[in-house]
Structure 1
Amino acid sequence: MTKYSGIWPVAPTPFNEDGTVDYEGMKRVIDCMVDQGSDGICILANFSEQFLITDEERRLLTEVSLKHMAGRLPVIVTISHYATQIAVARAQHAKDHGAAMVMMMPPYHGALLKGSAEQSFEQFAQVGEVGIPIMVQDAPLSGVDLPVPLLVRMAREIEEVRLFKIECPQAAAKLRDLIAAGGDAIEGPFDGEEAITLLADLEAGATGAMTSAMIPDQIKLVIDHFAAGDIRAATDAYARVLPAVNHENRQCGFRSAKAAMVEGGVIRSEFCRHPIAPLHPQTRESLLRLIRPLEPVVLSWGN
């Protein structure tokens, strides 16, 4: 296992029923994720509803989360922003409060404002000057193309660019090409998108995965078996969790972890801010029906 390996799930952001951030609930989320056996966690990512919180809430969530974690696990803080100056400031704030690394997508805003290859490189380079390891998030949400040669250039020319979360279509092929072209400069090739392609990505060379906080303890078994060279056990473990992973990926999105955490007594509400609709009761019940047989930590943590 490398330094950057294992399961690094994304923490959901809990809200109260009135729509305000539940900061005490955030502490319970972190405690639960530690008890899930996570190797690290990520906050303020897309699955944390980062696009639905204010700058002040972001600041407080960063500080509350890092203080409460108190060094138990490394924490990644997502800092993506179209404005390079703001991304740099977010990185500095995360570093000042004890983050282990930051994660960022290339600069984009909406469907039409997208950074060029050179602008993306320059933004990552300026964030790199803060002096904190960077995970590049290659996600369809940004709509920005990050070809393998650009990612390799980042890894070789920007000292802090060390990790890559690849969750674009055909992720395994891109991971394979990235590792082959970048060699030792690619320190942490990661799988994403709720582990929907995890087994193929591990076979392509991924060393870790960033999933939701729903069942990371169960997905971790896939990674551990694969790292130990037991491909049969990894395949069996993946087959066991795949129905739940598929339902989360295709039907629920970030609402799944909140539903599970409410069911398990971790948080009090699964409220999502408008315009996000609550889970349909049938979709929610199907989710719980799929994860209950797995006996994940989340369903018993607070009960």
Structure 2
Amino acid sequence: MTQRQRRYQGVFPVVPTIFAENGELDMPGQKRCIDFMIDAGSDGLCVLANFSEQFALSDGERERLTSELLAHVAGRVPVIVTTTHFSTAVCAERSRSAQAEGAAMVMVMPPYHGATIRVSEAQVHAFYAGVSAAIDIPIMIQDAPVAGTPLSAEFLARMAREIEQVSYFKIETAGAASKLRELIRLGGDAIEGPWDGEEGITLMPDLEAGATGAMTGGGYPDGMRRIVDAWRQGRQDEAAELYQQWLPLINYENRQTGLLAAKALMKAGGIIDCEAPRHPFPPMNPAVREGLLRTARRLDPMVLRWGR
């Protein structure tokens, strides 16, 4: 594996995609969203993820968002760009383009389509090898249930050892902490970044297992930073207490609102003008939205104050 300048650690929230009421991209709102997330303490950002509604974007919109958002961040924090696609060639080209625009890393799910189209383990290995050959920045494998592709710890560790850029892993499957422990044990130094995902709902067990990064929702990086910073600085009891404080909000996002949470919080805080997802994704139930905001107000996160 090539020698790299740094290992990326800490809280890298997913950036939501901001739309106007007519469904078009709202780039001024998108940039305010980015500025808030950096001001709120994000160690880095991830764009075009599933929680960014990447599945609702055209290729042209993806290219525009990658280019304009990386230019707007302007190196203030490292940015991970999701480049997932079923095709090895398309994913490799997306990844090349992201690197050229200044991405620090790409995040890629294994190739899948719909509920049933999958490929063999050998083809998954060849897929990541093909993407790796196209770039000089790290690849984060997103091990998520949505892909419906079993990726054992043994297989992930083997790819880390055998494929040059494969070195980060966001583990979002059931039993994440156990899988992280096994991945770290099997992969050793080839595992540069064992990361937590799923909005931080399993954050504490994953930190205990050795996770060094967390890819959370974008609405309250200040709260997530407090937890992760306390843990990284050896204040485990404080981290646990902070997690207990923020867990109701984390739970609301993970179990009740999903990808709509960050935009609802940003709209309530005056950061963006429109919180709507892109049709046909349904809007949030108004009663659930009020429950989310009521839970957030008890914690006074920056998102409810930054845009006022």
* Counterpart position of 1:94: 98
* Counterpart position of 2:198: 193
Matches within 5 A, 1:164-243: 164-243=169-248
How big is the shift at 1:178?
0.4
Q: Deviations over 1:48-89 (max 9, x none)?
A: 000011111001000010000000000000000001111001
Distance in 2 (alpha carbons) for counterparts of 1:90 and 1:255: 26
Distance in 1 (alpha carbons) for counterparts of 2:141 and 2:304: 32
* Counterpart position of 2:53: 49
> Percent same amino acid among aligned pairs?
53
Name segments (4+ residues, structure 1) moved above 2 Å. Answer: none
SS at match of 2:195: strand
* Counterpart position of 1:28: 32
TM-score by length of 1: 0.98
The one-letter code sitting in structure 1 at the alignment partner of 2:48 is: L
Matched, 1:13 2:8: no
Matched, 1:59 2:63: yes
* Counterpart position of 1:158: 163
Aligned length: 302
* Counterpart position of 1:296: 301
Distance in 2 (alpha carbons) for counterparts of 1:133 and 1:293: 38
Q: Deviations over 1:87-139 (max 9, x none)?
A: 00100110110100100000000011112111111111111112221101000
2:42 counterpart (34, 38, 41):
38
Distance in 1 (alpha carbons) for counterparts of 2:125 and 2:46: 23
* Counterpart position of 1:284: 289
How big is the shift at 1:221?
1.2
Q: CA RMSD in A?
A: 0.9
Distance in 1 (alpha carbons) for counterparts of 2:70 and 2:200: 25
1:146 counterpart (143, 146, 151):
151
Distance in 2 (alpha carbons) for counterparts of 1:142 and 1:200: 23
> 219-228 or 174-183: which moved more?
219-228
Distance in 2 (alpha carbons) for counterparts of 1:128 and 1:245: 34
Distance in 2 (alpha carbons) for counterparts of 1:140 and 1:227: 28
Distance in 2 (alpha carbons) for counterparts of 1:3 and 1:162: 10
Structure 2 unaligned residues grouped into runs of 5+: 1-5
Distance in 2 (alpha carbons) for counterparts of 1:101 and 1:286: 35
Q: Deviations over 1:19-72 (max 9, x none)?
A: 001112111111111101010000000000000111110010000100000000
SS at match of 1:267: coil
SS at match of 2:43: coil
Any conservation in 1 of the 2:10–2:43 contact (CA below 8 Å)? yes
> 72-81 or 148-157: which moved more?
148-157
Structure 1 unaligned residues grouped into runs of 5+: none
SS at match of 1:253: helix
Any conservation in 1 of the 2:23–2:279 contact (CA below 8 Å)? no
